[in-house]
Structure 1
Amino acid sequence: MTHLFTLCLIPLMCAIVVQVSQMNPDDINQIWLHLHYNLVSVIICSAFLVFAVTVYVMTRPRSVYLVDYSCYRPPSHLQVRYRKFMDHSKLTGDFDESSLEFQRKILERSGLGEETYLPEALHDIPPRPSMATAREEAEQVMFGALDSLFNNTGITPKDIGILVVNCSLFNPTPSLSAMIINKYKLRGNIKSFNLGGMGCSAGVIAIDLAKDMLQVLRNTYAVVVSTENITQNWYFGNKKSMLIPNCLFRVGCAAVLLSNKGKDRWRAKYKLVHVVRTHRGADDKAFKCVYQEQDDIGKTGVSLSKDLMAVAGVALKTNITTLGPLVLPISEQFLFFATLVAKKLFNPKVKPYIPDFKFAFDHFCIHAGGRAVIDELEKNLQLTPLHVEASRMTLHRYGNTSSSSIWYELAYIEAKGRMRKGNRVWQIAFGSGFKCNSAVWMALRNVKPSSNGPWEDCIHQYPVKLVDP
């Protein structure tokens, strides 16, 4: 059904070829004479055809290629095991016994392993959450990812025409994008953007912004840097809903190189197919479900509402309602439409048909926001354990790295040797606001992992068996 138009076009072309082959020379001569005596009409039609083709070529959306990307792998001395996490929490003296026990339970049920990373300043006793140490964390992760990206692609910083950086909670002056421009001495006419306060789904938003800029600027490269900063955003209070991020969020960063150059198709890994963004901010419950605030004693943190999963479910439903017609085969769309009509016109108790997105995608990169998020999407989308393996293993190895987590997941799939030419990948992320954003990529070749990848030294250990909470 997906190739219905092509299948109908082939018989039509064959019929035309057969018809022409059966014409005798006199008929062909008659056609030539007709064209010869109507030269003006032929010229006008040809000119119109050339004009129409030119307009189409000039105005059609330019293809956006993902040349390569790099995920930051922190040094081993920044790893934080459960016991070290709890010992440091006790030694800070900021948490009461109830809060310590709550954090211990969250850690055990979170799906995080013993090798996730926290920034240097939080390993010290007492912790050093200052502007200077936050800058150090930002420089370490961003420059680490970018150095690896430039080394793997051979692109020089002067080749970059567009720079998009997203970090939700840390927005210094000068901006993070300015820090990158200063470090790599990027050119003066670069189009740079710094996105803040947009949560864990900001990575897809950054890709969408870079895509739009690549439609305007010709023959250039765009770099997207997605990260989060933990140093100044650790919560030192005792409010339970604000302690959860302490247990989930960890150090991470991804740098992505995009291109609109036709010649880069032959070396690029993926082609961007669709970006679909959903924003539920008009609803007060959705707006407040992930909320940065101060507690009763003035300590700042990010509060996660008990309504978070319900809000995420509604946002997901809205997002896939838009995405479905773009990616699902006609057969799945027909079944969905038929059950919808039956429910509306005949029997309200008819269960809505949930489209099988496994027909549309070969791989799923679900934001590693937490074990509950992955469980919920696995159930709602009727996925298999293999489809969510990349998300679970990323959560186990690196924790919730916010907007960069979907890139660690894609790197996992590549490291396992599962990405084949023509495969489609669905990256889906949730963020404060509340947002649900999707990006769809198509592999242009059998993709192998780039050197110095985040799974290079440990992929042979995965997948690991996770203990049920």
Structure 2
Amino acid sequence: MMKTNTQPNSTTAAAAGNVVPDFLQSWKLKYLKLGYHYLMTHFLTLCLLPSIAFTLTQASQMEYEDFQNLYLHLKHNLAGVVFFSGVFVFGVTVYFMTRPRSVYLVDYACYRPPDHLRVTYKKFMDHSRLTGDFDESSLEFQRKILERSGLGEETYLPEPLHQLPPRPSIAAAREEAEQVMFGALDDLFAATGIKAKDIGILVVNCSLFNPTPSLSAMIVNKYKLRGNIKSFNLGGMGCSAGVIAVDLAKDMLQIHRNTYAIVVSTENITENWYFGNRKSMLIPNCLFRMGGSAVLLSNRSSDRKNSKYKITHLVRTHKGSDNKAFHCVYQEQDDRGKIGVSLSKELMAIAGTTLKTNITTLGPLVLPVSEQLLFFVTLIARKITNNPKIKPYIPDFKMAFHHFCIHAGGRAVIDELEKNLRLEPIHVEASRMTLHRFGNTSSSSIWYELAYIEAKGRMKKGQQVWQIAFGSGFKCNSAVWLALRDVNPSPHNPWLDCIDRYPVELVY
């Protein structure tokens, strides 16, 4: 019988010798940081415990005569006690009357188009070729974008773009808007049992399609909403308009008591398809797809127990004063007079700068003291020593958030945020899978992502989720939600019949 040599060679032993210390070092650093984070988070509590223990010890040693003397002292200074008690009660009353009201997310719904509107790569390219509007260079460009985009074979386009030749019109665009908005709202009303007459505030956002009467008026007409409803229609605000609409609804809920607000977010594809050959204007054709969402918000304290989330922070950043940022996502005509949306090559750099400004404002609101202290110490060290070798400390946002909903604008957007925020693949899974299954649905994409997390059963009570959206202008907006309970998917969750297939392996 042939013997097998079981003794490790010198190379293997050396490699093992290197790996073990490296592993132990990373293991120690990980738990050292966790210990530091725990210490700083509970620093005040740890400092107060000795003081509380000392006070209780002293109180337990007081005799009956000491308590009697204290009572007599308070009795002789009754006026002062009454005055300070009155000031205290007044201050507490003013605080509770003027503090911002909590805004709850009762439920939301994402529109799931019918299966006959699905568009595969082959169908997309065949239709692009048969329209006769694109030259060979443009067709090849679209093919490469599709292959690298992160979109799958099951995204949706509206009916007029499935026809040959395509038949875009205002009537068809209205039909698409009604199909998406009413579909999402029907699911929302069915899931919550809310009545139309209880809706006091309505905010609708759609960037590129703004007919008269408005989209919000179409909803009022369809559901016969009450005559004194506060309705708003936001146009031209890009893919981040969903967060802007939530911010507007939140502000309105601070003014109007005991009411509900509905936020509808969508984009219209029918009249905004580009039929030209400018490369920068062809990219939206390859990325944007049909979709929309409807969100029900409430300021009623009685709705807390039935709600999924509570909004805790909302931060908006606008870089429109900079010309490059203003023009990086721009609707215009090409040389042939064809209208489309042009995406600048500087888009990712501008998005990174805008995100940096946004998280600089958001960070102090959400990050634990431990992370803020590390950031502050590193900043001071860089300023004092002027040493370029000291790298700026990037806060670990995983310490503040359990889930991330990054706008599914494209693979490059998700890649960039994953890298800059030092996220793990699990943190961007919802964004990548939403882009794969539904494409870039503009301002509603962050809600498809939240629906994915719920469908996976990952949302637990007390966890925070960060929604990040980018839009023309240029804007970066963030919304932070706190889960009020273990969140189960709604009956009309768009992922329910396919969630078992995800996550899928993406090959670019």
TM-score category (smaller protein) = over 0.9
Q: Are 2:481 and 1:441 aligned?
A: yes
Identify if the C-alpha distance between structure 1 residues 189 and 463 changes in structure 2 by more than 3 Å, giving closer, same or farther: same
Query: Secondary structure of 2:90's match?
Result: helix
CA distances 1:125-154 after superposition (whole Å, capped 9, x unpaired):
111211111110111110111111111111
Identify if the C-alpha distance between structure 1 residues 6 and 189 changes in structure 2 by more than 3 Å, giving closer, same or farther: farther
Deviates more, 1:334-343 or 1:256-265: 334-343
User: Quick one: which amino acid aligns to residue 488 of structure 2?
Assistant: K
Q: Could you tell me which of 197, 210, 224 is aligned with 1:171?
A: 210
Please report the RMSD computed on the Cα atoms of aligned residues, expressed in angstroms. Answer: 1.3
Superposition map of 1:308-327 within 5 A: 308-327=347-366
- 2:89 maps to what in 1? 50
Q: Are 2:495 and 1:421 aligned?
A: no
1:10, CA displacement in angstroms?
4.7
| CA distance, structure 2, for counterparts of residue 410 and residue 15 of structure 1 | 48
- 2:30 maps to what in 1? none
CA distances 1:205-233 after superposition (whole Å, capped 9, x unpaired):
11111111111111111111111011100
- 1:71 maps to what in 2? 110
Length-normalised TM-score, structure 2? 0.90
Q: Could you tell me which of 173, 196, 201 is aligned with 2:240?
A: 201
User: Quick one: which amino acid aligns to residue 133 of structure 1?
Assistant: A
Query: Secondary structure of 2:482's match?
Result: strand
Q: Are 2:443 and 1:379 aligned?
A: no
Task: In structure 2, list runs of 5 or more residues that go unmatched.
Answer: 1-39
| CA distance, structure 1, for counterparts of residue 356 and residue 307 of structure 2 | 32
User: Quick one: which amino acid aligns to residue 87 of structure 1?
Assistant: D
Query: Secondary structure of 2:41's match?
Result: coil
Deviates more, 1:288-297 or 1:179-188: 179-188
Q: Could you tell me which of 370, 373, 393 is aligned with 2:410?
A: 370
1:13, CA displacement in angstroms?
4.1
| CA distance, structure 2, for counterparts of residue 133 and residue 16 of structure 1 | 75
1:4, CA displacement in angstroms?
3.2
- 1:353 maps to what in 2? 393
1:337, CA displacement in angstroms?
1.6
1:6, CA displacement in angstroms?
4.0
| CA distance, structure 2, for counterparts of residue 79 and residue 172 of structure 1 | 26
User: Quick one: which amino acid aligns to residue 50 of structure 1?
Assistant: V
Q: Could you tell me which of 216, 222, 228 is aligned with 2:261?
A: 222
User: Quick one: which amino acid aligns to residue 214 of structure 1?
Assistant: L
1:343, CA displacement in angstroms?
1.9
Query: Secondary structure of 1:388's match?
Result: helix
Superposition map of 1:259-274 within 5 A: 259-274=298-313
User: Quick one: which amino acid aligns to residue 455 of structure 2?
Assistant: A
- 1:341 maps to what in 2? 380
User: Quick one: which amino acid aligns to residue 374 of structure 1?
Assistant: I
- 2:282 maps to what in 1? 243
| CA distance, structure 2, for counterparts of residue 21 and residue 185 of structure 1 | 67
Q: Are 2:339 and 1:300 aligned?
A: yes
Q: Could you tell me which of 149, 156, 174 is aligned with 1:110?
A: 149
CA distances 1:94-149 after superposition (whole Å, capped 9, x unpaired):
11111111111111111000000001111111112111111101111101111111
1:460, CA displacement in angstroms?
0.7
User: Quick one: which amino acid aligns to residue 401 of structure 1?
Assistant: T
Task: In structure 1, list runs of 5 or more residues that go unmatched.
Answer: none
Identify if the C-alpha distance between structure 1 residues 8 and 173 changes in structure 2 by more than 3 Å, giving closer, same or farther: farther
| CA distance, structure 2, for counterparts of residue 13 and residue 222 of structure 1 | 45
1:34, CA displacement in angstroms?
2.6
Q: Could you tell me which of 395, 401, 407 is aligned with 2:435?
A: 395
Residue identity (%): 78
- 2:17 maps to what in 1? none
User: Quick one: which amino acid aligns to residue 133 of structure 2?
Assistant: D
| CA distance, structure 2, for counterparts of residue 243 and residue 421 of structure 1 | 43
| CA distance, structure 2, for counterparts of residue 118 and residue 397 of structure 1 | 13
Q: Are 2:499 and 1:453 aligned?
A: no
User: Quick one: which amino acid aligns to residue 186 of structure 2?
Assistant: D
- 1:126 maps to what in 2? 165
Identify if the C-alpha distance between structure 1 residues 39 and 149 changes in structure 2 by more than 3 Å, giving closer, same or farther: same
Identify if the C-alpha distance between structure 1 residues 339 and 208 changes in structure 2 by more than 3 Å, giving closer, same or farther: same
- 2:187 maps to what in 1? 148
- 2:37 maps to what in 1? none
Aligned residues: 468
Deviates more, 1:181-190 or 1:424-433: 181-190
User: Quick one: which amino acid aligns to residue 130 of structure 1?
Assistant: S
| CA distance, structure 1, for counterparts of residue 54 and residue 235 of structure 2 | 59
User: Quick one: which amino acid aligns to residue 329 of structure 2?
Assistant: V
CA distances 1:138-180 after superposition (whole Å, capped 9, x unpaired):
1111011111111111111111111111110011111111111
CA distances 1:352-388 after superposition (whole Å, capped 9, x unpaired):
1111111111111000000111111111111111111
Larger radius of gyration: 2
Query: Secondary structure of 1:386's match?
Result: helix
Q: Could you tell me which of 88, 99, 102 is aligned with 2:127?
A: 88
Q: Could you tell me which of 264, 286, 304 is aligned with 2:325?
A: 286
1:41, CA displacement in angstroms?
2.4
User: Quick one: which amino acid aligns to residue 495 of structure 2?
Assistant: W
| CA distance, structure 2, for counterparts of residue 74 and residue 217 of structure 1 | 35
1:342, CA displacement in angstroms?
2.0
User: Quick one: which amino acid aligns to residue 412 of structure 2?
Assistant: A
- 1:36 maps to what in 2? 75
| CA distance, structure 1, for counterparts of residue 255 and residue 50 of structure 2 | 39
| CA distance, structure 1, for counterparts of residue 470 and residue 51 of structure 2 | 46
Identify if the C-alpha distance between structure 1 residues 170 and 3 changes in structure 2 by more than 3 Å, giving closer, same or farther: farther
| CA distance, structure 1, for counterparts of residue 455 and residue 45 of structure 2 | 35
Deviates more, 1:194-203 or 1:214-223: 214-223
Identify if the C-alpha distance between structure 1 residues 204 and 33 changes in structure 2 by more than 3 Å, giving closer, same or farther: same
Query: Secondary structure of 1:200's match?
Result: helix
